[in-house]
Chain A
Amino acid sequence: MEKKNKNVLIVGAGIAGMEAAAQLSELGYEINVIEKEALSGGHVNQWYKTFPYFDSSKTVVDFTSRNNEKLNFFTETEITFAEKNGLGFKINTDKNRQILADAVLLATGFEVFDAHRKEEYGYGIFKHVISNADLERNFINGWPEEGNSPRRFAFIHCVGSRDAKAGNLYCSKVCCATAVKQAIEIRQHFPNSEVYCLYMDLRMFGKHYEEMFQAAQEKYGIHFVRARLSEVNQNMDNTLLIKVEDTLTSRPMKLTVDYIVLMSGMEPALKSSELAKFFGLPLDENGFFESAQALVSENKTCVEGVFLAGAATGPKTIVETINDARSAALSIHHYLQNLS
């Protein structure tokens, strides 16, 4: 059978889905992409610059969209049902379409932890408590005009992560590097600002991350305090009073700041459990999709013909996501070759 007769359904048009789609379409497969938003590009669409080199996020989105005209998009569409159909799959959508697929790639990405859930942080109550996602939007859309320039910022690591009370025990991996990046961006944007990073551990694991951190300290004078946010209160002048312990000096500490940025972690995409049920897939203890094997088969699942790419299996950086998408494309290619 010719490749041209084989088609792949890619669920999610974020950069994982798009990179895999670009690769697979180049290999000659027919690609259907189903996406719940109106645009492709996923979360990266809403980000300003990337770490650690401060390249624009738009570049990444544009790159992964390079073969878009070869793809069949079903945007603002969600899966309502799926089942096996011979060797392939039959998928129904909420727009009353039925899609047949020889292989399915779940690239459903992630959800940003809803910081409202950390009630003691005052997100959604105090105006100047914002999330990492909100901050990116502020950089894209422009900071709100407010009398005086905000001067003091506190970045709070581990929001919704490593937290039994938030329901997520795991580390979301990318937030530390994001915090350092955003802290630097704030220092650049507000030259008179004073910025604190309140961290638990600094996950500077990637290429050039440690150097970025050092620059944050030396070039940008960002204060790193090993502390976890315990409580936020608002003063009469709308500044924010935060309570932490500086754990390296064992002293309770109060800090008055103008803005608090909550580094919300990555959670599984909202419909993960529903999709898992349709395709008969297990979820791991944190609700992300479970791979066939953690080390050597991250892109495969226990169901033949269903594959995984990107943050659908757990928090990932952009470079990891791109590589993972390519790896998934290759796995799918081999699978489809062996079918015939």
Chain B
Amino acid sequence: MKPMIVNTLSMYIPTTQTNIDMELKGKERIWEKYQKEIPLNDYYYARSCIRQNFWPGSEQTFIRILQDELGKNILDEKHHTTCSGIAYHCDVVPLETTMTIVARQFSLMSESGYKHFVPSCITSFGVYTEILETWHEFPEIEEKIRKMLSEATGRTFDKPEFLVHPSDVIYALRNEILQKAKYRLVNAKTGEPLKCVDHIGCHYAKMFPEKGVGGAEFPHVLVGMIEAWGGEVVDYPERRTCCGFGFRQYMVQANRGYSIACTKRKFDSMESYKPDLIVTNCPGCPYFLDRWQYVIAEMEGKVYTDDGYGIPVLTYEELAGLVLGYNPWELGLQMHQVSVEPLLEKMGYEYDPTDKYVVGDKNINTRPETPNILKIFNHGEKE
């Protein structure tokens, strides 16, 4: 099916008056420059290591929205693996290893008859993009990798016609999602738009700005979703700063100060804007934005919201799922350390708070321990 070119500006829905005209015009100029061709169907889905572990509901929701809500064709097959991106950026595997594993993924895509490759992870998206660009500039390297893949596995591959991130896809389909919306990103009591911080994974557009919707400086991929669904985007001075994953700077305990310091810098900067939620399009980012709030609360007694629960951190699928009125516990919101219920309350969301920690059909009543400082919603009782 021929992909449609998405005119990002024609879908722009003007919102509140907080952006002065000039700011908006200036940003629109940039968004116009960084339009991206996003195919609207027939996707080969390559899952993300971190998301599969920590946000499995998000990946399932992506498939559910595309298949069940929008009737799209997306292949979720079982033979694909990690792209090795984390290992690559921890520098523990050679460049050729990652390139060959990527080539294997493309081989799986080709043999399934698909041409639109959609990697669930942002680091993957960066790795795939970087590798395709490198092969384009150095065709002898592509040749070498083809030989290596063949030697190791007997496989051949075609390169994808399109490489897009799932957040690009949700972005391109945000108005279709709006058509089926049960909720808007609006405070149900006051009618005010919810204040949303958008956090873009570094590997989405910093390496190749033209491969990201809106470019590297003022990306539009999450802004478009937030504003289409009724929310208000909050810009703050440390918006473009990395969440602080740092790969080996997190994985090794001795280095972890880097990671938490980086994330804390962002929280300190966004706090005075009183955001209602943070939405991100990277797997690792929500993990750090979520967990480090807990750690900062326990270590320093500091919570970034007045109610003591912290700022809820969502993936874009969780955000879309809420707009569509899905069961939060199918979305996987119970996987978050920072409770998302304050947001649900603000939205006037209909849900069963007591179902949060219920698992299995025997209704096993399990509960996590509660932290000392960070407040947690637990079985509908605020603690």
Contact = CB atoms under 8 A, between A and B. Distances in A.
Interface string A229-271: 0010111100001000000000000000000000000000000
B22 A124 contact: yes
Nearest to B25: A124
A163 interface: no
Interface stretch (B26-34, B120-128, B332-340): B26-34
Interface in B202-246: 215-218, 235-240
Contacts, number: 37
Contacts of B27: 125
Interface string A298-323: 00000000000000000000000000
Interface string B12-38: 000000001011011101100000000
Interface stretch (A7-15, A114-122, A179-187, A203-211): A114-122
Contact of A116 (B29, B237, B239, B272): B29
Nearest to A254: B237
B23 A231 contact: no
B237 A233 contact: yes
Nearest to A256: B237
A126 interface: yes
A235 B270 CA distance: 10
B240 A231 contact: yes
Nearest to A238: B20
Nearest to A123: B26
A241 B236 CA distance: 10
A219 interface: no
A126 B30 CA distance: 14
B26 A122 contact: yes
A105 B78 CA distance: 71
B215 A235 contact: no
A233 B218 contact: no
A119 B25 contact: no
A233 B217 contact: no
A236 B18 CA distance: 12
B22 A233 contact: no
Contacts of A124: 22, 25-26, 29
A125 B26 contact: yes
A129 to B, nearest CB: 9
B237 A241 contact: yes
A120 B238 contact: no
Given A119-B215, A120-B217, A127-B20, A235 B26 contact: no
Interface in A79-122: 116, 119-120, 122
Contacts of A123: 26
B238 to A, nearest CB: 7
A197 B280 CA distance: 37
A236 B215 contact: no
A236 B26 contact: no
B23 A235 contact: no
B162 interface: no
Contact of A125 (B22, B236, B238, B272): B22
B239 A233 contact: yes
Query: By CB atoms of chain A within 10 A, which of B20, B26, B239 has the most?
Result: B26
B272 A236 contact: yes
Contacts of B25: 124
Given A119-B217, A120-B217, A124-B29, A235 B237 contact: yes
Interface of B: 20, 22-23, 25-27, 29-30, 215-218, 235-240, 272-273
29 contacts: A116-B26, A119-B30, A119-B216, A119-B217, A119-B218, A120-B217, A122-B26, A123-B26, A124-B22, A124-B25, A124-B26, A124-B29, A125-B23, A125-B27, A126-B23, A126-B26, A127-B20, A127-B22, A127-B23, A233-B235, A233-B236, A233-B237, A233-B239, A233-B240, A234-B235, A235-B237, A236-B272, A236-B273, A241-B237
For the complex of A and B, list the 8 residue pairs with the smallest distance between their C-beta atoms, beginning with the closest. Answer: A125-B26, A124-B26, A233-B237, A119-B217, A241-B237, A120-B217, A125-B23, A119-B30
